[in-house]
Amino acid sequence: MPISDCLPVLSDAEVSRRLTELTDSGVRVLIGSVSDMAGVARAKAVPLRRAGVFHTAGMGASPSWHVFCADNALAFTEQLNVVGDLRLRADLAAARAIGDGYAWAPAEFFHQDGTPSAGCARGALRGAQAAAEAAGLTAKVGHELEFTLTDGDGQALPARHWQGYGLGAVLDRGTFLADVTDALESAGVPVEQLHAEYGVGQFEVSLAPAEPLRSADDVVLARLLIGRVARGHGMLVSFSPLPFDGGAGNGAHLHLSLERDGVPLLSGGGEPHGLTREGAAAVAGIVAGLPGTLAVFGGSPLSSARLKPGRWSGAFACWGLENREAAVRLVAATGGNPYGAHVELKCGDPSANVYLATAVLLGLAADGVARGAELPGEVPVNPAEEPAVERLPVTQAAALEALEGSATARALLGEEIWEALLAVRHHELRAYGTLGTAELAERFRFAWSS
């Protein structure tokens, strides 16, 4: 079923059916959350009997919600300030019971007259998905969540005995990981795999591919649940791009596959590694658009401290088959890859708004297809060894300047989001641009945790 451009209002009968279902699952409170320009999830909650109103009329929120920063400051603009009111409408059809008497639903911003707010990130992804579908493209997106566990005071876990990708590391946190798996799967978040990552206390949960809006919802919900399970085990979870100076960074890699009329675009064709003409154009669109949109995939004060060569974070503006240092890694269709061919975008991190990151990735691919963009040469080696390959913008300031100069980014995000995002990230740059990495890591360690 094609996605609607705007969050549909459920019929009274459908609302009561959902409420009965949630009541039967023991739900007493519904949380509706949005993700802001700084990548932080913010929420309102209602007793379940008010869930219908949360869905139809919505709960009040000042337009300043669009300009919340990672440090909770408000980066007011002329349009987004102390005057006015928006409504947060919970998507009741997407609500999930999450245990302990709670349900969670993604919410979208509307005006009081019921029209959608152009500053809504989930609305932007809904629009990007609808536009891709209207152009005949069906996308699936799979997200990876990297995170770092700390002790209950936010300090690093002991490094002794830690092995990157280690069996011992998994067993050491065995009950935590089993509880995370249960929590995610019972909330309908499909866990693809879990492993210990490279950094001390760092783990990764990958989610199975899903339609774009659902995949982004699942990331928000997964972060909430991972944080909740960690608290239950006396720990905290950092989703910061760089939780500890000198430690490993947390990426937020996105996997994208595309089909037209049920036929994959990234395999079965005559272009390099089996890409079809349209598939090659999609990859070209992504690579071409990356420098200008990097700030959408992670424009926070810590993003550039993570995005460094030699860390598999995708710091180079290029693509390559199974190249883990390229921003765009092509994963070809082989027997070892049951989901078929896809591209992995590696340069993004969890300080991004996941709805905007997903929307822009999809939008760049669709734009490449629409204009028949030409695929640049593949980089089959470590890009650091190829002087001709450019780094993506290396500082937050450079990423913001590129975003300001990108007509593609502006068109994909829409004027209101583009302005709000720049206002927020410029505030963060002004306020924290002179801090050293250790201070930044400490200041923002839990800024993106739910």
What are the residues binding ligand GLU (CB under 6 A)?
Answer: 146, 197, 248-251, 306, 311-313, 324, 346
| Site residues (CB under 5 A) for Mg ion, limited to 105-134 | none
At its nearest, how many Å lie between ligand GLU and the CB of residue 288?
22
What residue number has its CB nearest to ligand GLU? Answer: 251
Residue with smaller CB distance to ligand GLU, 206 or 293 = 206
At its nearest, how many Å lie between ligand GLU and the CB of residue 438?
18
Joined tokens for residue 41: 């999830």
On the 0-12 / 13-18 / 19+ scale of CB atoms within 10 A, 325 is buried
Kindly state the number of chain residues that form the binding site for Mg ion, as judged by CB under 5 A. 1
Distances in Å between the Cα of 190 and the Cα atoms of 72, 126, 144, 180 are: 32, 21, 12, 12
**Strand spans (E) along 296-371:** 316-321, 326-331, 342-345
What's the CA gap between 129 and 397, in Å, rounded? 30
Interacting residue with Mg ion among 36, 91, 108, 204 (CB under 5 A): 204
Compute the C-alpha angle 292/295/298, nearest 5°: 140
At its nearest, how many Å lie between ligand GLU and the CB of residue 308?
9
At its nearest, how many Å lie between ligand GLU and the CB of residue 395?
17
CA 130: distance to chain centroid?
A: 18
Instruction: Kindly state whether residue 217 participates in binding Mg ion, applying the rule CB under 5 A.
Output: no
> What does 312 interact with, of Mg ion, ligand GLU, none (CB < 5 to 8 A by kind)?
ligand GLU
Q: Give the DSSP letter of residue 385.
A: G
Under a CB-based contact definition with an 8 Å cutoff, are residues 302 and 429 in contact? Answer: no
Q: Give Dmax over CA atoms of the chain in angstroms.
A: 63
Residue with smaller CB distance to ligand GLU, 42 or 311 = 311
Residue with smaller CB distance to Mg ion, 179 or 197 = 197
At its nearest, how many Å lie between ligand GLU and the CB of residue 416?
30
Residue with smaller CB distance to ligand GLU, 52 or 199 = 199
> What does 425 interact with, of Mg ion, ligand GLU, none (CB < 5 to 8 A by kind)?
none
Candidates 217, 264, 226, 208; CA nearest to 92 is 217
Q: Which helix (H) or strand (E) holds 256?
A: strand 254-260
Residue with smaller CB distance to ligand GLU, 146 or 179 = 146
Residue with smaller CB distance to Mg ion, 61 or 141 = 141
Residue with smaller CB distance to ligand GLU, 107 or 315 = 315
Side-chain-facing half-sphere of 40: CA atoms under 13 Å: 21
Crossing angle of helices 121-134 and 354-370, rounded to 10°: 20
> What does 313 interact with, of Mg ion, ligand GLU, none (CB < 5 to 8 A by kind)?
ligand GLU
At its nearest, how many Å lie between ligand GLU and the CB of residue 304?
12
> What does 138 interact with, of ligand GLU, Mg ion, none (CB < 5 to 8 A by kind)?
none
Which residues of the shown chain bind Mg ion in the complex (CB under 5 A)? 204
